[in-house]
């Protein structure tokens, strides 16, 4: 049992229709955190990760790490990780592993430590069929053979130089797996069609601490020169999460509030902000400053009360530098408060758009065209209701935001999916003046 795990109930009581005011600081990144936790398996020394978010996804990965012999110690919001010379996967925490899709990123580091091993099949958000085949195709270039059973990945590793690989899809986690495979391959690997997203750039910054040379950070072609072994004591402070910033931007828009959001990773929000600006959103930004990693560019954003109108073209996500797929759902709840009809095309995830229709229970006017496209007519006056969170992180958060903007008392039940990715939302929203409490 993780000593830092929250004992809060998993239901929320929300009295909406309240203006927010004040300042909130952007939290560090869920996706960055889980990638670095997996990458710590590359290091035979001591890894200290600072500002680790205390969220369910992190707890699940730590439970898995501890179950295979890794020592993980919390010190406030920092964790210290010591990896033994030999790990035993026979005692792996299967339940924890199956509750996080991030377990698939154990493949890249473990291929260097074990000739043969088995990992439980992964889960996480319920968003239709999210294939892991691109991971298999990437790692086979490094001599990894993976077979699937009904409940596990059976892995045989005979490491070899990969030289040049083309990723089957430009995915975040598959790029991270390829990076971790290349980091302990003592030759140069060119990874083409790589994701350039924020968690990939963060992993690159982390791997550089170990002497891994990486050129092309922020582009779709990464050139990685790996090392023979990694045995170092390193410290790294996690970077900020653009989807955390986007949550509070959206909450401000839906509640018509003026707040300041500090430490916003601007390079991963520029397109979202541009689209919002073209919709009529007004805001101010500070000068750019750097995150602790010396790579991520940050600004402070102050929102202004704005009257928004719908974009004439559809809103859709693309791999970075396109609009972030994790930020796309926020436009659904924003669309309930803008003048006109918004078409949201969520092509990346099967059936996620269906979850957006849950906004109807708060008074939204939506028309589902198919499992990927939804029309939202606005503005509508949101009203309170009692709802159960869908089993997907971002669709659950937009219901919470809708309740913040809805007059009356709402109840949101089973917020585990929100706790997977956001730390201290209740406390942070309360500090901004929201009336929100835990409900037994």
Q: What is the mean pLDDT of residues 360-383?
A: 97
Count of structural domains, the chain? 2
Give the model confidence (pLDDT) of 285-300 as tens digits. Answer: 999 999 999 999 999 9
Question: Which of these three, 237, 257, 281, is where a domain ends?
Answer: 237
| 127 and 180 within one domain | yes
Residue among 102, 5, 18 at smallest CA distance from 436: 18
Note the pLDDT of residue 89: 93
For 42-56, 82-96, 115-129, 270-284, which range has the lowest pLDDT when averaged over its residues? 115-129
| 250 and 341 within one domain | yes
Note the pLDDT of residue 101: 80
- Max CA-CA distance within the chain? 61
Within a domain: residue 397?
yes
Say whether pLDDT at 273 is over 80: yes
Q: Which helix (H) or strand (E) holds 190?
A: strand 188-192
Within a domain: residue 6?
no
Q: Which helix (H) or strand (E) holds 21?
A: strand 21-25
Note the pLDDT of residue 123: 55
Q: What is the mean pLDDT of residues 303-327?
A: 97
String of b and e for 231-256 (b: at least 16 CB within 10 Å)?
A: eeeeebebbbbbbbbbbbbbbbbbbe
Structure tokens at 134: 């691109």
| 337 and 270 within one domain | yes
Note the pLDDT of residue 7: 52
Say whether pLDDT at 11 is over 50: yes
Within a domain: residue 57?
yes
Per the CB < 8 A criterion, the answer to whether 40 and 233 are in contact is no
Q: Across all residues in the chain, what is the average pLDDT?
A: 94
Note the pLDDT of residue 237: 98
Q: How far apart are CA 100 and CA 41, in angstroms?
A: 17
Per the CB < 8 A criterion, the answer to whether 231 and 45 are in contact is yes
Give the model confidence (pLDDT) of 122-181 as tens digits. Answer: 754 443 445 788 999 999 999 999 998 888 999 999 999 999 999 999 999 999 999 999
- From the number of C-beta atoms within 10 Å of its C-beta (0-12, 13-18, 19+), residue 370 rates as exposed
Check residue 440 and report its DSSP letter. -
Note the pLDDT of residue 131: 74
Within a domain: residue 289?
yes
Question: Which of these three, 222, 237, 252, is where a domain ends?
Answer: 237
Q: How far apart are CA 292 and CA 14, in angstroms?
A: 35
Q: Output the domain CATH number for residue 433.
A: 3.65.10.10
Q: What is the mean pLDDT of residues 82-111?
A: 93
What is the C-alpha R_g of the chain? Answer: 21
Name the band, by pLDDT with cuts 50, 70 and 90, for residue 1: very low
For 160-164, 356-360, 389-393, which range has the lowest pLDDT when averaged over its residues? 389-393
Note the pLDDT of residue 126: 42
Q: How far apart are CA 89 and CA 68, in angstroms?
A: 5
The number of beta carbons lying within 10 Å of the beta carbon of residue 32 is 27
Within a domain: residue 379?
yes
Q: Is the dihedral of CA 5, 9, 10, 15 positive or negative?
A: negative
Give the model confidence (pLDDT) of 29-75 as tens digits. Answer: 999 999 999 999 999 999 999 999 999 999 999 999 999 999 999 99
Domain of 136, in residue numbers:
30-237
Bridge partners (DSSP) of residue 37 are none
String of b and e for 207-228 (b: at least 16 CB within 10 Å)?
A: bbebebebebbeebebbbbbbe
Within a domain: residue 172?
yes
Note the pLDDT of residue 349: 87
Per the CB < 8 A criterion, the answer to whether 118 and 82 are in contact is no
Note the pLDDT of residue 350: 83
Half-sphere exposure of 95 (CA within 13 A, CB side): 2
Note the pLDDT of residue 8: 61
Within a domain: residue 2?
no
Question: Which of these three, 219, 237, 255, is where a domain ends?
Answer: 237
| 160 and 226 within one domain | yes
Q: How far apart are CA 246 and CA 265, in angstroms?
A: 10
Beta strands (DSSP E) in 201-307 are: 213-215, 221-225, 234-237, 258-265, 282-285, 289-290, 297-304
Residue among 281, 275, 355, 284 at smallest CA distance from 315: 275
């Amino acid at each position: 049992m993780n000593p830092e795990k929250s004992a809060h109930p998993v239901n929320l009581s929300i009295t909406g229709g309240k203006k927010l005011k004040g300042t909130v600081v952007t939290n560090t990144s869920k996706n960055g955190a889980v990638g670095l936790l997996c990458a710590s398996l590359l290091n035979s020394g001591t890894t200290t990760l600072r500002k680790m978010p205390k969220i369910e996804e992190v707890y699940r990965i730590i439970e898995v790490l501890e179950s295979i012999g890794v020592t993980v110690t919390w010190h406030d919001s920092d964790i210290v990780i010591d990896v033994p010379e030999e790990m035993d996967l026979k005692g792996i925490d299967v339940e924890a592993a199956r509750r996080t899709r991030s377990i698939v990123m154990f493949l890249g580091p473990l291929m260097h430590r074990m000739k043969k091993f088995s990992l439980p099949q992964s889960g996480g958000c319920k968003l239709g069929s999210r294939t892991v085949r691109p991971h298999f195709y990437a790692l086979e270039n490094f001599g990894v053979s993976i077979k699937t059973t009904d409940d596990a990945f059976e892995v045989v590793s005979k490491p070899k130089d990969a030289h040049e690989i083309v990723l089957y899809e430009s995915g975040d986690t598959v790029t991270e797996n390829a990076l971790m495979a290349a980091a302990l391959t003592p030759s140069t690997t060119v990874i083409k069609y790589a994701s350039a997203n924020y968690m990939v750039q963060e992993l690159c910054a982390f791997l550089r601490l170990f002497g891994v040379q990486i050129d092309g950070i922020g582009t779709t072609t990464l050139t990685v020169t790996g090392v023979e072994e990694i045995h170092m004591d390193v410290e790294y402070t996690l970077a900020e999460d653009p989807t955390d910033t986007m949550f509070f931007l959206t909450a401000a828009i839906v509640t018509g509030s003026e707040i300041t959001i500090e430490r916003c990773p601007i390079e991963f929000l520029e397109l979202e902000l541009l689209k919002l600006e073209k919709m009529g959103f007004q805001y101010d930004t500070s000068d750019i400053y750097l995150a602790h990693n010396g790579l991520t560019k940050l600004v402070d954003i102050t929102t202004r009360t704005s009257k928004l109108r719908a974009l004439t073209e559809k809103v859709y996500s693309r791999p970075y530098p396109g609009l972030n797929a994790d930020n796309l759902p926020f436009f659904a709840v924003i669309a309930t408060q803008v003048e006109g009809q918004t078409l949201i095309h969520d092509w990346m995830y099967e059936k996620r758009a269906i979850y957006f229709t849950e906004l109807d229970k708060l008074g939204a006017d939506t028309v589902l065209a198919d499992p990927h496209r939804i029309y939202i007519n606005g503005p509508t006056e949101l009203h309170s209701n009692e709802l159960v969170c869908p089993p997907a992180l971002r669709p659950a958060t937009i219901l919470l935001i809708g309740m913040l903007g809805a007059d009356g008392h709402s109840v949101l039940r089973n917020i585990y999916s929100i706790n997977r990715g956001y730390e201290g939302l209740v406390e942070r929203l309360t500090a901004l003046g929201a009336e929100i409490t835990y409900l037994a």
